[in-house]
Every structure is written in C-alpha cells, then in structure tokens.
C-alpha cells in the first residue's frame, strides 16, 4: 500500500508543479490560466505550488515510513 501512495503522491506533485509553471508562464504573458474564483479565495499558481509541496512531503514521509517498517518488522 505504501508503494502505491509514494508513486501516486509523487506524480501528483509533479503534475501540480507542471500546472504551477504553466500558470506562471501564461500569467507573465497576460493570460490568466488559473485565475478563477471560488466561494472563498481566488485560485492562482501559488495554490498549485503549495499543493506540490504537500504531495512531495507526503511521498517523502511515506517512503521513510516504508523504510522504517522494513527494518523493524
């Protein structure tokens, strides 16, 4: 189960970074790719960056837990 979570969170992090970079590039030329508003705050490239950090940290933490569980059965 940990292997699936590691791979899934890693690839979600990669996708979030790709969307953040795409959004930032399009925003620099004047196209608002991800500037839509929800009931609360507006969604921007920064939202994707924070999401990518979350997914990468989840992958690292899960890999550490998996490694710990293999050493201490």
Position 24 scores a pLDDT of 84
Highest mean pLDDT among 46-50, 62-66, 69-73: 62-66
This prediction's pTM: 0.76
* Per-residue CA distances from 45 to 18, 40, 51, 61, 69 (Å): 10, 16, 10, 25, 36
Q: pLDDT digit string (tens) for 14-57?
A: 999 998 888 888 888 887 766 665 666 667 778 888 989 999 99
Position 38 scores a pLDDT of 63
């Amino acid at each position: 189960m940990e292997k699936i979570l590691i791979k899934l969170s890693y690839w979600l992090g990669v996708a979030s970074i790709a969307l953040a970079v795409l959004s930032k590039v399009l925003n620099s030329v004047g196209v608002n790719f991800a500037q839509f508003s929800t009931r609360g705050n507006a969604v921007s490239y920064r939202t994707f960056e924070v999401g990518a950090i979350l997914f990468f940290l989840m992958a690292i933490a899960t890999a550490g837990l998996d490694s710990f569980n293999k050493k201490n059965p």
